[in-house]
Amino acid sequence: MDGVSGLEDGAKSIFKNVVVQRCIVHLIRNSLKYVPSKDYKAFTAQLKKIYGAVSLRAAQSEFEKFCETWSKYPGAIRVWKDNFRHVEQLYQYGSDVRRVMYTTNAIESVNASFRKVTKQGHFKARRLCSRCFTYGSRSCTRSGRDTPFRTGRL
């Protein structure tokens, strides 16, 4: 989830045992708002040591180092302190699953594919619109990810 207020509570009210996982990319983006662009590279490199750590203990240790190193940006530190429990949840899963969880965001990928299709403006016929979205959804597959979407003439 991307941290929309009330979304986590709503999910938990319907699904009592749900584990809500925050999107790491959104956490990074939210924290970068408080960091000057000249420090982005070093800041994100140290963040990767946290969510890419081999164990929860290693992640917590890296997080302590991170807080000390970047204490000059308290807003960025606060974003991670407020959401670190979501990072800790990653370690309930194996390393392969963790990597998939923090490196992909399937819904955003699909939406990006559909945005490429709709950039063309309006569609003259409903069938044409349907066809474009069908072809656009095919480009969401792993093998078609880098294949450009061609619609022909509209």
Which domain, by its residues, includes 95? 7-103
- pTM (predicted TM-score): 0.64
CB distance 33 to 21 below 8 Å: no
Q: Are residues 30 and 80 in the same domain?
A: yes
Number of structural domains in the chain: 2
Mind listing the pLDDT tens digit of every residue in the chain (154 residues)? 556 667 778 888 888 888 777 788 888 999 999 999 999 999 999 999 998 899 999 999 999 999 999 999 999 999 999 989 888 888 888 887 777 776 555 666 677 777 777 776 677 777 777 777 776 776 665 555 555 545 454 4
Q: Are residues 41 and 71 in the same domain?
A: yes
Asked, for residue 2, whether it belongs to a domain, the answer is no
Q: How far apart are CA 85 and CA 100, in angstroms?
A: 18
Alpha helices by DSSP H, 20-125: 24-32, 40-51, 56-69, 74-89, 95-103, 106-118
Q: Are residues 56 and 21 in the same domain?
A: yes
Q: Are residues 33 and 93 in the same domain?
A: yes
Q: Are residues 121 and 71 in the same domain?
A: no
> 71 Cβ partners below 8 Å, 6+ apart?
77
Q: For residue 153, what pLDDT is reported?
A: 47
Q: Are residues 134 and 154 in the same domain?
A: yes
